Structure 1
Amino acid sequence: MSQLKKGALLNYVTIILTNIVGIVLTPFIISKLGNSEFGVYMAIGALVGTISVLDFGLNNTIIRFVAKYQAEKNRKEEENFLATVMIIYFVISILVILLGFLFYGYIDDYFDLMTNEEVEIAKKMTLILIFNLAIKLPGGAFTAICLGYEQYVFPKFINIIRYILRVGLVICVLLMGGRSISLVILDTVLNLLIIIFSAVFVFKKLKARFKLHSFSKTFIKQIFNYSVWIFIYSIVAQFQWQTGHIVLGGFSKPEVLAIYAVGLMLGSYYGAFSSAVTSVFLPRATQMVVANASTKELTGMMIKIGRISFIILIYILGAFILYGRQFVFLWVGESYSDSWIIALLIMIVYTIPLTQGFTGSIIEAKNKVAFKAIIYLVFMSMGTLLGYFLAIKHGVMGMITGSIVGWLIAQNVMNVYYYRVLKLNLLRFFKELFQKTIIIQFIVIGIGLGINFIPGEGWLNFIIKCFLYTIVFGILMFRFGMTPYEKQLFTDGLSKFSKK
């Protein structure tokens, strides 16, 4: 099996492992830290994490340039490029530390609803996370170099090992009485170890070298010209949901921040499961774009990928609508009721964009990334601002409402762009996307409501309901909702399709 296929397989393992372990581990962490400290832990992580946008998209730039120099067998330019990038990262790390300490100085004033003890915890975590980020950003360059050398297995495998190791250590630390600060220290140590192992692999195995042959401002400009739109995308990712922590942190109690964090977590898992499936198909889609396939062919492939994704998404969404509230109560407790609503809202607005994942490949292949980045940045920023004003009166629900409004407007603008500029037949896309599937799903939901009357409240009751819902959905969707192509696809397995 090639490095690429092994890397893809490990990527799916990582996604599944992250989601499943996250669901299992979160209630344990909450039970040990308490709602208040968990809220502080998540809020500070999100706040300091926003500084990570100062990577300026350099990781992706490293992959692109290293791959280019490897193809050209241009050792000297590669050495010069890597040395230049590390100088840039050195400046970025200093900037991270300066911004981190600036934020540190305002913690008392910013978190004015926290107790003195919570503020002290927040301060200590901030200092540790600043150091963590200052080493993590340049350290990520070693992973990017591996990918540029088309060595996909090592970085993904070591990341899986790190994740499994972290789970065991988190459990041990909390059982021994450790608190949130202990978890932050643990993550910092693990990140440092990953950087060291990755550096050894890059220097010893790949024989990569950092040597500054010449320092050119023009070269630096060339680097940033490529990375600027990736940088803007990273800002969009922060505005998408995470800035809600910053907004809410100014006038909310830690328990509220915990509720918001759990809702975002569940919403992100929804997107991850879809990405794990659709990513199997995207390489073939990208090849079509490069081969100048017609808009009719591109729309056809978009429909094929979109329907597979849609069937999986509405299965999860339907289950979460029917039994998600019970799951959240059993998982983290009744005090997190709003987390279910937040996650549900994210899932609903995410569903259609996730089925249109193929458009990302088209936009990148046609070099039209700038428009999409600007549209999402503008409207997600406006959504965050709206969320701020709504959150003053309505708390977490106001914040998520503002973010969703911004996301929906941006998505509708992009749909117009897909239709008018990329010439994709969206009317055909939506018609075929909903054909049979939406009617069957309404029937399944109706039956699922009946299943919900099964008496009981515990985990066994929840599992029985989900099992019956899955059986009903599987039978009805396979028999009446899927096309012959999709039935064959699910019968043969996704892996066979990816080889076609």
Structure 2
Amino acid sequence: MSLKKVIFKNVAAGWFGKLILILTTIIMTPLLISHFGKHDYGIWLMVGQGTSFLMLLDFGIANSVSRFVSKNIVLKNNTENNQVYSTAIAIFSGFSILIMITILIVSPFVPAILNVAESQKNIIYWVFGLTGLNVALIFPFRVGNGLLQAKDKYDIIAFVEVFFNLLKLFLVVSFFRDGNNGLIVLAVIFFILNLSNAVTLFCLATKKYYPELEFEFKSITIRNFKEMSSLGNSAFLQTLSGMMGAKLPILIIGVWLSVGATTLYSIPNALLRKLSPFITMLGSTFVPIASRLDAENKYKQLTQLNIIGVRYGLIMSIPICVFLFFFADNLLFVWIGKSGLSEEDLSTMYNLIKIMIIPFALGTPQIATRSILNATGKHWVSAITQFVCTLIGIGCGLLLMIFADMGITGIAIGWALKIILSDILALPLLYCKYFKVSVFIYYKNVYASPLLLAFVLFLFCLIFGKVIIVSGVFEFIICTVVFGIVTLLGIYSIGLLPIHRSYLNGKLRRLMVKFSF
């Protein structure tokens, strides 16, 4: 299969999978907030964010499996692949045991950290224990994801996740639409389905795509451990940076302000995180491709890959940015307006979105640059840069929250600052330095057309907002449909590269000829 077809297949499957994830989130979030209330839903969020930090105990080695296996596939080194596989299984099994021990040590302190009532302590013990054990048991099976990614089977990963997300939605609606089921039941549902998802991907990888792989103690090597740790430790820093940016603020808000405030911050944050895969799906598939191009010394193609990946990511993120900037208040009202949150809560969330959305739109597509830097041996400088920028952003957010008395608004500003420093400025400059690309030409090729598209859409929304006043669901749907049509026209006429516009025209002409007979 050609490189273009591989990329298209992976991106299309990924977008489909993330669309299903967004739809399940849209349905489950108001249902769970209405069922549990702002406070208990905040507890669920804080426990989830806290246990997710346990994933860091793999020190990023999970992310290194894909790169080493894809490189060995090119070099046709099956023996080396078996050593990578066996070493990874052994390492992850050890991490699984380490996580279980960590859960036992930390769990007695969780109720005090969350400041929950005495009557809820046993519930919190169970919820934290189940979610932590879930992370531990999933660890050895994470090798399956890396193996599938190495063969560009992102579509398989996406379709398996779609199945389990839909099943999760069905069970949540069934158990929490009515009745008195609590947080423990919710934790059990997530435990069973998340583990089943990981096991299914592992079995598909090892039985169908890598039947030659076999775990052997003699294949566990110190050399592979050191090599994966070298790349893995840089991936650990990047993962830590991502978690600090996305999850740490929720914990800080819950401990410093209130558990209820975590809900107000987490919903805008979750909305952006659920939308980000539509933007990053293209660039996030570049690691095995870039690794192969690097092995073949095809650096010109690497730069073309980077520019196309970031530019088309921006074409996806810019319309999202403009739409949310103008219509996020209506979206929040339609989505969660009847879940028990007040108008003040909805207004607070809308203001947070306006702070976060522009840096998010301009910086998130740089996942393509990050992927290529990771795949070409520049992983350490990329990881350190992201980590430092994250520390600066989170630190500024804390200062604004505590000393400027800005509350969760200060945290949102710190989050936005991290994106600006890391993704919009530092990563592109690093790429230009290492691959000897003109900074001006790079930013021009990547950002010029998407920013022109942003200006057109922004102007349209200003004019359209004077014509139609959105006061209900019907008007919101009309605005969304009209905005979508204008966006598609704008992407076609402004966003697409000429070669891709010509390719699309050819496809459309053939379809018209086909259906004319």
Say yes or no: TM over 0.5: yes
Q: Write the letter of the residue equivalent to 1:134.
A: A
Q: Shift of the alpha carbon at 1:232?
A: 1.7
CA offsets, 1:38-61, max 9 Å, x none?
111111101110111112223233
- Partner of residue 431, structure 2: 418
Alignment of 1:50-449 (within 5 A): 50-66=53-69, 81-112=84-115, 114-117=116-119, 119-147=121-149, 154-177=156-179, 178-198=181-201, 200-201=203-204, 205=208, 206=211, 208-213=213-218, 216-277=221-282, 292=297, 302-333=306-337, 334=343, 335-392=345-402, 393-411=405-423, 412-433=425-446, 435=448, 438-439=451-452, 441-449=454-462
Equivalent residues of 1:452, 1:465 under 8 A apart: no
The amino acid that maps onto 2:62 is: N
Amino acid in structure 1 at the alignment position of 2:471: E
| Shift, 1:80, TM fit | 5.2
Deviations 1:12-66 (A, max 9, x none): 3212221233223322222222222211111110111011111222323333445
Distance 1:486 1:75 in 2: 38
Give the whole-Å Cα distance in 2 for the aligned partners of 1:60 and 1:21: 27
Go from structure 1 to structure 2 and tell me whether the alpha carbon gap of 1:479 and 1:91 turns closer, same or farther (over 3 Å shift).
closer
Structure 2 gaps of 5+ residues are 338-342, 511-517
Of stretches 337-346 and 13-22 in structure 1, the one that deviates more from structure 2 is 337-346
Cα distance in 1 for partners of 2:149, 2:453 equals 43
Write the distance in 2 (CA, Å) between the matches of 1:121 and 1:231: 32
Deviation at 1:298, TM superposition (A): 6.2
Q: Deviations over 1:148-178 (max 9, x none)?
A: 5776665443322212211111111112432
Superposed displacement of residue 374, structure 1: 0.5
With 414-423 and 14-23 compared, the bigger mean Cα shift is at: 414-423
Residues 315-364 of structure 1 show CA distances to partners (whole Å, capped at 9, x for unaligned) of 22111111111111221123233323333333311223334444235423
Does the Cα contact within 8 Å between 2:279 and 2:316 map onto a contact in 1?
A: yes
Alignment partners' CA distance in 2, 1:482 and 1:68: 32
Measure, in 1, the Cα distance between the counterparts of 2:161 and 2:202: 14
Q: 1:68 to 1:257 in 2, by over 3 A?
A: same
Q: Distance in 1 between matches of 2:207 and 2:292?
A: 34
The structure-2 alpha-carbon separation of the partners of 1:478 and 1:346, relative to structure 1 and needing over 3 Å to count, comes to same
Whether the 8 Å CA contact 1:56–1:227 is kept in 2: the answer is yes
| Aligned pairs for 1:467-482 within 5 A | 467-475=481-489, 478=492
CA distance in 2, matches of 1:260, 1:367: 36
State the AA in 2 paired with 1:144.
Answer: G
2:147 and 2:497 map into 1 onto residues whose CA distance is: 43
Could you say what secondary structure the match of 1:337 adopts?
A: helix
Cα deviation 1:86-142 (Å, max 9, x = unaligned): 332232122212322333222233223x44445554332111111111101112224
Q: CA 1:139–1:476 in 2, change beyond 3 Å: closer, same or farther?
A: closer
Q: CA 1:213 to 1:146, structure 2 compared with 1: closer, same or farther past 3 Å?
A: same
CA distance in 2, matches of 1:470, 1:6: 23
For residue 373 of structure 1, what is the amino acid of its counterpart?
A: A
What amino acid does structure 2 have at the position aligned with 1:135? Answer: L
State the distance in 2 between where 1:182 and 1:422 align. 52
Q: Pick closer, same or farther for the CA change 1:153–1:40 going to 2, 3 Å.
A: same
Cα distance in 2, alignment partners of residues 99 and 58 from structure 1: 19
Alpha-carbon distance between aligned partners in 2 of 1:152 and 1:311, rounded to the nearest angstrom = 22
Contact kept? 2:283, 2:309, Cα under 8 Å? yes
Q: CA deviation at 1:462?
A: 0.6
* Cα 1:70–1:472 shift into 2, 3 Å: closer
Residues 455 and 461, structure 1, Cα contact 8 Å, conserved in 2: yes
Residue type of the alignment partner of 1:445: F
Which AA in structure 2 matches 1:458?
Answer: G
**Conserved? CA contact 1:321–1:344, under 8 Å:** yes
TM-aligned CA deviation for residue 183 of structure 1? 1.6
* CA deviation after TM superposition for structure 1 residue 478, in Å: 4.6
Identify which range, 443-452 or 76-85, moves more after superposition: 76-85
- Residues 174-231 of structure 1: CA distance to partner in whole angstroms, max 9, x if unpaired? 1243233212111111233335545555665526422212665444333322322122
Aligned AA (1:163): N
Instruction: Give the fraction of aligned pairs with identical amino acids, expressed as a percent.
Output: 21
Q: Residues 293, 156 of structure 1: CA spacing in aligned structure 2 closer, same or farther, 3 A cutoff?
A: closer
1:463 pairs with one of 471, 477, 482: 477
Q: Does structure 2 retain, via aligned residues, the 8 Å contact 1:80–1:212? A: no
Q: Using structure 1 for the length normalisation, give the TM-score.
A: 0.85
> For the Cα contact (< 8 Å) 1:15–1:276, is it kept in 2?
no
Question: Which AA in structure 2 matches 1:442?
Answer: F
| Amino acid aligned to 2:162 | I
Change (3 A) 1:249 1:150: same
Q: CA RMSD in A?
A: 3.5
Identify if the C-alpha distance between structure 1 residues 283 and 47 changes in structure 2 by more than 3 Å, giving closer, same or farther. Answer: closer
